[in-house]
Structure 1
Amino acid sequence: MSYTINEHRHRFAAWAAGRAASVNGCRFTVEDAKIILERSAMVDLIAHPNDLPIPLEMDSFHRSWRNKIILEAEKIGLTNFTHGVAAKLINIYLKAAFVCGGYHEHERVKALHPPIDSVLLDELYSKNTGGLKKNWSLARKIRWSKFNSDEYEAVISAIRKVNGDRAMWEIEKFWRGYQ
């Protein structure tokens, strides 16, 4: 088997996602993350952005992906995977493969959900971004790693309100994790 750019992209994206999504209360290894992503067929999406769902179908596909991720995590003994943790694993994986891989202007990539974490939520709250301080406050209290499906989707909906027609990844201008 030859080593391809798709394998290279997968390994890097799985490493980044595994490091970012593993948190107190839901610790797992990078190898676990890679196995979960492969068994849930996420790896099949990263060959080309045209393999991603169309923007109008992104949320329903994302919900399905989260459910698959949680199921695959349970199969390897990780029973505390929430929708927040599953979303972070998915979102970092796809961000590494596409958003930061030069496809940021592709219609389907623009619809990808951004990674949600406390650094982003704290900044959205402190700046009262979009006049949605109440939404950001609630999300901060719940904690991203504890989100159930509805709580996660409420944050995504609020981000859409803020971003309007702009790409979803653009909300990360408020993320201060690089500092």
Structure 2
Amino acid sequence: MADTLERLHERLSALEDEIEAEWDRRREAMAFRLDHNRVVFEAGVRDAHRQARVGLLRFLSYARPMVILTAPVIYSLIVPFVLLDLFVSLYQAICFPIYRIAKVKRSDHIVVDRQHLAYLNALQKLNCVYCGYCNGLLSYVREIAGRTEQYWCPIKHAHRVKGPHLRYRDFVEYTDAEGFQAQTMRLRRALREMEE
């Protein structure tokens, strides 16, 4: 069974690599490039984007009143998100060096770049910045939590976990006491050997 799972994980990794290569090919055809993390559009693209933009007032006229009234609820979450960012970053800065776990690079997860799209109005750009930050933050937190779990408790659950982090597949099976003792140090070493 372990061989079958390992083969399936290898196939999955190969498919993920293919998907990333396909995204790279598609990005080349999308009329922009990144120059030192700065978005540079090909000639005429920004003008075409401006022509496609829906003005703020027209955009708001399409929105249902209840949607507009929920905006403060959505945006109020920025406070706990910023606090989560602060506390998790502090946790990583203090604890990861002690545990000898490679740190998670925040900028690999929190990407805020959609505000450069001229086809978005000001409110849409604000929404995109907010969503990019919040979803990126959750990805960042998840990776820090996954590395922490790999260090302290790399055991799979008895119940199926929906959408586990990528490290989970290398964890020890639920009832494998000997495997836990034997594999914990190997999994900790793997965290140390990762690139920051």
TM-score (norm 1): 0.23
Higher strand share: 2
TM-score (norm 2): 0.22
